[in-house]
């Protein structure tokens, strides 16, 4: 694939997600900013008014983006197939989480959009993103605006981030030199790393499994959860496991489940293995 085609692929793998937007004008202005910067996938989570003539009016020649916009009920749904999710936050350290500048964000997005679906998430005009929504993001990005008034208009914030992403992708497309020589410490996504990151849905399934296993082990008390799951999400969000690694962890948790079952029924490993083999044979036979 040529550099240009490669970058086109990247543009295609990036989506802008607007959460619970109240003013349709901001949705239209976002579509326009996206089209100006070469992005075309817009996902709207529970918008207050959409479709709307106000949105179409503000989009001007970017109505095609509005026409193709996906509308979903929750942020979880919007990012279920994404390997990288970055949430834009007007407030720094609302919850302590890995934080990047727009330029760092652009580099990460350019790296990972070669192989993964990437979501850039923006919050409500009045209250931004909730803590739960911020926890669905691997990273947060903050635009260092003036501290006396650091909250940008929603579409203006989208523009700043999309502009930086575009600059980084164009910079890479114009590089005609062969790929730089890299060592173990400079892993290039999509080149040295060929397993895609776990998607939002795979991570959610993993967290559900992990939480249940911790409850079964009496390690986690759902009556007194404290911040355990938030910390677990932050830990795995920082590690960013790939799909193979998540499947190993799920396998490990399944063995914890098996251990529980053995203890509860007081059976041996061999007995359990035999039962499982027989059950598998039965279910294979059904097909």
- The closest of 8, 192, 42 to 121, measured between CA atoms, is 42
CA 159/CA 162 separation, integer angstroms: 5
- The smaller minimum CB distance to ligand SAH, of residues 102 and 241, is found at 102
How would you list the strands of the sheet with 70-72, edge to edge?
70-72, 41-45, 14-19, 118-122, 84-88, 139-141, 99-100
Using CB under 6 A as the binding rule, whether residue 47 contacts ligand SAH is answered as no
Phi-psi region of 36 (alpha: psi -120 to 50; beta: other; left: phi over 0): alpha
> Smallest gap, in angstroms, from Cβ of residue 163 to ligand SAH?
13
Q: Which of 123, 200, 237, 241 binds ligand SAH (CB under 6 A)?
A: 123
Q: Which of 152, 167, 170, 259 binds ligand SAH (CB under 6 A)?
A: 152
> Smallest gap, in angstroms, from Cβ of residue 19 to ligand SAH?
8
> Smallest gap, in angstroms, from Cβ of residue 153 to ligand SAH?
7
CA 5/CA 254 separation, integer angstroms: 42
Omega cis (within 30) before 51 = yes
Longest dimension (CA), the chain: 69
Using CB under 6 A as the binding rule, whether residue 143 contacts ligand SAH is answered as yes
Q: Please, which of residues 185-214 interact with ligand SAH by CB under 6 A?
A: none
Q: Kindly indicate which of the ranges 33-41, 72-80, 121-129, 200-208 contains the residues binding ligand SAH, using the contact rule CB under 6 A.
A: 121-129
Q: Binders of ligand SAH: how many residues, by CB under 6 A? A: 20
Q: Which of 44, 129, 134, 246 binds ligand SAH (CB under 6 A)?
A: 129
Using CB under 6 A as the binding rule, whether residue 122 contacts ligand SAH is answered as yes
DSSP state of 69: -
Q: Please, which of residues 82-111 interact with ligand SAH by CB under 6 A?
A: 88-91
Q: What's the burial of 217, exposed, middle or buried (CB within 10 Å: 0-12/13-18/19+)?
A: exposed
Contact criterion met (CB below 8 Å) for 153 and 26: yes
Q: Kindly indicate which of the ranges 45-53, 119-127, 191-199, 245-253 contains the residues binding ligand SAH, using the contact rule CB under 6 A.
A: 119-127
Using CB under 6 A as the binding rule, whether residue 46 contacts ligand SAH is answered as no
Q: Which residues bind ligand SAH (CB under 6 A)?
A: 88-91, 122-123, 125-129, 141-143, 145, 150-152, 154, 157
């Amino acid at each position: 694939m040529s550099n240009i085609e490669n970058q086109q692929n990247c543009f295609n793998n990036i989506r802008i997600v607007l959460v619970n937007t109240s003013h349709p004008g901001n949705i239209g202005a976002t579509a326009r900013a996206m089209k100006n910067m070469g992005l075309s996938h817009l996902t709207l989570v529970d918008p207050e008014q959409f479709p709307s003539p106000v949105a179409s009016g503000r989009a001007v020649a970017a109505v095609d983006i509005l026409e193709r916009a996906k509308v979903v009920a929750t942020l979880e749904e919007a990012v279920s197939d994404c390997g990288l999710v970055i949430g834009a936050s007007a407030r720094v350290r609302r919850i302590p989480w890995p934080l990047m500048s727009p330029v760092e964000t652009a580099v990460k997005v350019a790296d990972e959009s070669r192989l993964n679906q990437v979501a850039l998430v923006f919050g409500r005009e009045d209250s931004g993103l909730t803590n739960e929504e911020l926890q669905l993001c691997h990273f947060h990005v903050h635009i260092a605006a003036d501290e006396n008034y650091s909250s940008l208009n929603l579409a203006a914030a989208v523009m700043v981030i999309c502009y930086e992403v575009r600059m980084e992708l164009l910079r890479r497309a114009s590089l005609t030199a062969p790929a730089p020589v890299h060592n173990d410490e400079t892993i290039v996504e999509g080149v040295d790393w060929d397993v895609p990151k776990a998607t939002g849905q795979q991570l959610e399934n993993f967290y559900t499994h992990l939480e249940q296993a911790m409850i079964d082990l009496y390690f986690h008390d759902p009556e007194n959860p404290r911040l355990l799951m938030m910390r677990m999400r932050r830990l795995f969000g920082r590690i960013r496991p790939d799909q193979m690694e998540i499947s190993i962890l799920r396998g490990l948790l399944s063995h914890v489940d098996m251990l529980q079952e053995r203890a509860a029924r007081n059976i041996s490993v061999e007995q359990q293995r035999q039962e499982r083999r027989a059950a598998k044979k039965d279910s294979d036979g059904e097909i």
